[in-house]
Amino acid sequence: MQNIDAVVAGAGIWGCTVARRLAESGRRVLVVERREAIGGNVRCETDPETGIEIHLYGSHIFHTHIPEVWDFVNRFVKFNGYQHKVLARYKGKTYFLPLGLALVNKFFGTELSPGEVEAFMKDETHSAAVFDAFFRGYTSKQWGRPPEEIDPSIIKRVPVRSNYDVNYFNDYNQGIPLSGYNSLFERLLDHPSITVRTGVELRFEDGVFFAGGDSLGNVPVYYSGPLDVLFGYRFGHLPWRSLRFETEWLDMRDYQGTSVVNYTEAEVPYTRIHEFKHYHPENAAAMATAKTVIMREYPSDWRPGDEPYYPIDNESSRALLGRYREEAAKYTNLVVGGRLGGYKYYDMDRSIEAALALSL
C-alpha cells in the first residue's frame, strides 16, 4: 500500500489516540473501522426531535485523575462538568450508590455518624444484608451466574465511604463533551496525515495483513480488535459477556430524575436504565422538552457475531489469551491494544493513557 506509513485498525478511543499521535509525529496514517462510523462503543447519536444525545452502547462518562490524559482530551473537546450519581432500586425503594452513609442509613433506618459506619459494616449481619440487596442479584445478572455462585466476600472488598459523598467516581476531572462524544473522535482524526475508511476490516491471511482487499506489506499495524478474530479463531473463541439494549421514547419530561438507575433484584431482567438527557444539564432545550429517551440494559451470553463487552477472566480464558498473544508476538509490525485487543475492561482514560505511553 503506497503513501501510508502506519495502519490503525479500530476507531475507538485507543485507536483514535494512536492515530493522532502517529500523525503528529509525521507519519501518514490509514484508519480502518469495520463499523460504518467511528467512535467504537462510545458512539452516540443526537435525537433530531428532542436534541438528546443518545449513547448507543450504554452510558459513558469521562472521568480521570491522570493530568496527561485530561490535558490531551481537552485539546479537542471541553467538558460540561457533569458529576455522575448512580441510584439503585431495591424492593420499591431508591438508594444512592456507592456504599456509604447515604445508603447505609436509609437501608437500615439508622443515623450513623461518619466515625461509626466502618465498624457497623464489619458486622457480618449488616454486610450480608447489603450484599444480598445490592450485589448478589445484580452481579448474577451481569455475569450470568446463579446467585449461589456469587461470593458474599465481595462486600468485604467494596470500599465503604464514611461520608455522604454520593459522587460515583472519585476522579476530580469528570464530564461529558459539551459538543458530544462524536466530536471527540472526529477531531482526533481531523488531521491532514490521517485517512479514514469505515466499513473496512483488518484481515490476516497467510502471514499477511490486509485492509479490505489491500495488502499492507510490512507497514506497522496498530490493532484494537479481538485477537481471536484477527487470527481466525484458530485456537478457539475467547469468552465474553454481551449486552443488548432496548431504547424507548417517552412523552414525559423526566422518567427517573437521573442518568442511571441500577435494578439490583435478580427478578428484574435488566441491570439498569439510562436516561440520557441528564448528561447535558447545560442543554436547556433538551432538558425542557416534554419528551425523554430511556434505554434498558440487559446482560446476555455472548455468541460469535455478538458484540463483545466484558471479558470473562478465568483460568481457561487466560490460557487461551496467552496462546493468541504468543501468536501476535511473532509479527514485529503488529501492536495490539485497547479493550478488545487487550482482553481487559478499560475505562476511557486508561485506554488513552495506554495509547499515550506507546513508543511509536
- Domain around 211: 6-38+189-236+311-357
Claim to verify: residue 230 and residue 93 sit in the same structural domain: no
Claim to verify: residue 223 and residue 328 sit in the same structural domain: yes
Beta-ladder partners of 62 = 175
Claim to verify: residue 145 and residue 209 sit in the same structural domain: no
pLDDT at residue 180, rounded to an integer: 97
Q: What is the pTM for the complete model shown? A: 0.94
Claim to verify: residue 199 and residue 128 sit in the same structural domain: no
- Is residue 305, in this structure, part of any structural domain at all? no
pLDDT at residue 343, rounded to an integer: 96
Domain count, the chain: 2
**pLDDT bracket for residue 213 (50, 70, 90):** confident
- Where b means 16+ CB within 10 Å and e means fewer, 159-185 reads ebbbeeebbbbebebbbbbebbbbbbb
Claim to verify: residue 134 and residue 226 sit in the same structural domain: no
Claim to verify: residue 14 and residue 160 sit in the same structural domain: no
Claim to verify: residue 91 and residue 227 sit in the same structural domain: no
- Is residue 242, in this structure, part of any structural domain at all? no
pLDDT in tens, 243-260: 999 999 999 999 999 999
pLDDT at 153 over 90: no
pLDDT in tens, 113-123: 999 999 999 99
pLDDT at 156 over 70: no
pLDDT at 157 over 70: no
- Is residue 281, in this structure, part of any structural domain at all? no
pLDDT at 329 over 70: yes
Q: What angle do CA 144, 85, 248 make, to 5 degrees?
A: 65
pLDDT at residue 109, rounded to an integer: 97
> How many angstroms separate the CA atoms of 186 and 41, rounded?
15
Q: Any idea which residues carry the catalytic annotation?
A: 157, 161, 241, 272, 297, 345, 347
Query: What is the enclosing helix (H) or strand (E) of 14?
Result: helix 13-24
Alpha-carbon distance values, 174 to 11, 12, 62, 131, 178 (Å) = 23, 19, 6, 28, 12
Q: What is the CATH number of the domain that holds 317?
A: 3.40.50.720
